[in-house]
Amino acid sequence: MAEDINPDDLEVADELIAERRSSIGVEPPADMAPWMAKTIRAIDTLSLWTGRLVSWLLVPLCLAMVYEVIARKYFVAPTMWAYDMSRFMYGALFTLGAAYALSVGVHIRADFLYRNWSPRAQGIVDATLYILFYFPGLVVFMWMSVDYAWTAIERGERGMDTAWMPYMGPIKTALPIGILFLLIQGVSELLKSLYAARKGRWPF
């Protein structure tokens, strides 16, 4: 029976190490400050709903590809727009869903050493890396991406690598929005790391 399996006896996959830190559906520990628990829960909920909404981009993405294949193979009528739309929707899916992926721990991570550390050591390392690299790097990236998107909108930039020549402003705007979501989710992850560093256990 699955109920008789001791989780401590199982080898935990990389993604599950981080995945256990999501606050969705889990009560916060009694010794966590209420403001911290509410902040983490609110941010994780925002990322959850963002991920759910963004995942619907898979539907038009798949439909566009199916339409292109059928039109090209059976009617010898390839479209000018399917290739660009597939790139745009996949790019938006990847960018806007990154914060959700971070919240549930499915980003690629090589933690063959990290997994053997104590929760306190993991929390200290995570918090340090978030403060020194994650937030500064994303702030710079955010500043650059806003200029990148605004320039595309202001100039009416169009893609030049296909005959369709779509406007690039909408898809480039997805980049700063996705980075903003990542910055917000980073606050939740930092708070979880600080709790682990202080208490010696992960809150979720």
Q: Does residue 19 lie within any of the structural domains? A: no
Q: How far apart are CA 59 and CA 57, in angstroms?
A: 5
Residue 1 lies in a domain: no
Structural domain of 112: 30-199
Mean pLDDT, to the nearest integer, of 32-41?
A: 96
The verdict on residue 14 lying in a domain is no
Q: For the ranges 11-15, 68-72, 186-190, 194-198, which has the lowest average pLDDT?
A: 11-15
Query: Looking at the domain assignment, is residue 97 inside a domain?
Result: yes
pTM: 0.86
In this structure, is residue 9 part of a structural domain? no
Among the listed residues 175, 179, 174, 202, the one whose alpha carbon sits nearest the alpha carbon of residue 189: 202
In a domain, 20, yes or no: no
**Is pLDDT above 50 for 101?**
yes
pLDDT at 90 over 50: yes
Pick from 123, 110, 112, 111: which is nearest to 21 by CA?
123
Note whether residue 143 is domain-resident: yes
Q: Is 167 helix (H, G, I), strand (E, B) or coil?
A: strand
Q: What does the pLDDT read at residue 169?
A: 95
CA 64/CA 61 separation, integer angstroms: 5
Task: Please give the structure tokens belonging to residue 57.
Answer: 């981009």
Report the 10 Å Cβ neighbour count for 56: 10
* pLDDT on residue 174: 96
SS3 of residue 151 by DSSP? helix
Which position has the higher pLDDT, 3 or 58?
A: 58
- Mark out the alpha helices in the chain (DSSP H runs): 14-19, 34-55, 58-74, 82-96, 98-104, 119-129, 135-155, 169-199
**Which residues lie across from 167 on neighbouring strands?**
158
Beta-carbon contacts of residue 30 (< 8 Å; ≥ 6 apart): none
**Assigned domain for 152 exists:** yes
Number of domains in the chain: 1
**pLDDT tens figures, 42-78:** 999 999 999 999 999 999 999 999 999 999 999 999 9
